Amino acid sequence: MSASTIPGGDYTAAPELPNVLPEPKKRGKVMGFVYGHPTIVIGGTVVALMVLIAIFAPFLFTKDPTALAPARRTRAPSELYWFGTDMLGRDVYSRVLYGARVSLTVGFSVAFFAAIIGTAIGLVAGFMRRVDTVVMRVMDGLMSIPGILLAIALMALTRASMKNVIIAITITEFPRVCRLVRGVVLSLREQPYVEAAIASGTRTPVIIWKHILPNTLAPLMVQATFICASAMIAEATLSFLGAGTPPIIPSWGNIMAEGRALWQVKPYIVFFPAIFLSITVLAVNMLGDGLRDALDPRLAKRL
């Protein structure tokens, strides 16, 4: 519009405003993601690093983690023994690296199986009201028993092996997934789009598969990462108490248990596996936190 069309005044164009705002930073897709979700990137990187360490443990300048060398026991960290040796002369560095295999296998397996079992039961409970009451009371019962006690009891009933550790921890963890999925299903089945699907003749299995399941995936992934972290701690606790991974397989828990007696004179035996465990659990939790924020900000309140 030109100035002359405005009645009652001689207007000129407004003066150019000084540009006080900083130029918006232009970032690529990758860098944008890094800045937007730093916890996912940091957590994910550390977890990926741990996975690589576990896979390539034999090639990372390790020795046989079970080879005994009584003559060279309880050596301090040195060029030859990076993390020192334990009271049987085994190389702590090698044992810690191989121990990553146990922790990560247990963590990921428990997260995977707990997610699958919990989702299956949660879906059934959420959809069949009669089954729901019974199933959820059983879950409440399972959750009322302290997880680690239940796992110790289960381990006492079976032989010490990694498979049994995974089973024991899965049994203590899956009720949480079950509850979460049931809750999400209960809220989703009231959604108008589910009602519209029912009204347009969609069969129940298809509704679960196409409308319910994809929308539970985000909270499920978040929950799975937290279960992964707590399963790693549970495994270490069980191994530390001597009820977990058999002593011939090095795991962070039983390395710490063996180093416990020498804690005051040779702290490095406990220190290194503890550091690895802490960093891994922290990284997995950071990844979970980041995923939660990225996938559904409202979920933060629900969990």
Partner 1 sequence: MSDARPLLEVKNLKKHFPIHGGLMGLTTGHVYAVDGVSFDIRKGETLSIVGESGCGKSTVGKALLRLYPITDGEVYLDGERIDNMPASKLRPMRQRMQVVFQDPFSSLNPRMKVRDILAEPITNFGLAKSRAEVTERVEALMDKVRLPRDSIWRFPHEFSGGQRQRIGIARALAPGADLIICDEAVSALDVSVKAQIINLLVDLQDELGLALLFISHDLATVEHLTHRVAVMYLGKIVEICDRRTLFATSHHPYTRALLSAVPVPDPTAPRNRIILTGDVPSPINPPPGCRFHTRCPFAFDRCKTEEPVLREVGGGHSSACHLTHAPGATIEAKRVGA
Token look-up 């939660």 returns 292
210 binds partner 1 (CB under 8 A): yes
The answer to whether 113 and 166 have CB atoms below 8 angstroms apart is: yes
198 binds partner 1 (CB under 8 A): yes
Pick from 4, 200, 265, 301 the residue near partner 1 by CB under 8 A: 200
What are the C-alpha distances in Å from 173 to residues 153, 222, 241? 15, 14, 19
Q: Which two tokens stand for residue 85?
A: 């040796």
Pick from 140, 214, 302, 303 the residue near partner 1 by CB under 8 A: 214
Burial class (CB in 10 A: 0-12, 13-18, 19+), 132: middle
216 binds partner 1 (CB under 8 A): no
192 binds partner 1 (CB under 8 A): yes
Residue closer to partner 1 (CB basis): 7 or 192 = 192
The answer to whether 276 and 49 have CB atoms below 8 angstroms apart is: no
211 binds partner 1 (CB under 8 A): yes
Cα angle 97-173-157, degrees, rounded to a multiple of 5: 80
158 binds partner 1 (CB under 8 A): no
Pick from 54, 160, 168, 197 the residue near partner 1 by CB under 8 A: 197
Pick from 103, 105, 109, 215 the residue near partner 1 by CB under 8 A: 215
Q: Which two tokens stand for residue 254?
A: 């039983």
Long-range CB pairs of 209-214 (<8 Å, 24+ gap) are: 212/123, 212/126, 212/185, 212/188, 213/119, 213/123
Stretch that binds partner 1, among 29-37, 151-159, 196-204, 272-280 (CB under 8 A): 196-204
The letter for the amino acid at 217 is L
Q: How far is the CB of 34 from partner 1 (least distance, A)?
A: 25
78 binds partner 1 (CB under 8 A): no
Stretch that binds partner 1, among 20-28, 156-164, 185-193, 241-249 (CB under 8 A): 185-193
Q: What are phi and psi of 85, to 5 degrees?
A: -125, 160
Q: How far is the CB of 131 from partner 1 (least distance, A)?
A: 16
Footprint of partner 1 on this chain (CB under 8 A)? 191-193, 195-203, 210-211, 214-215
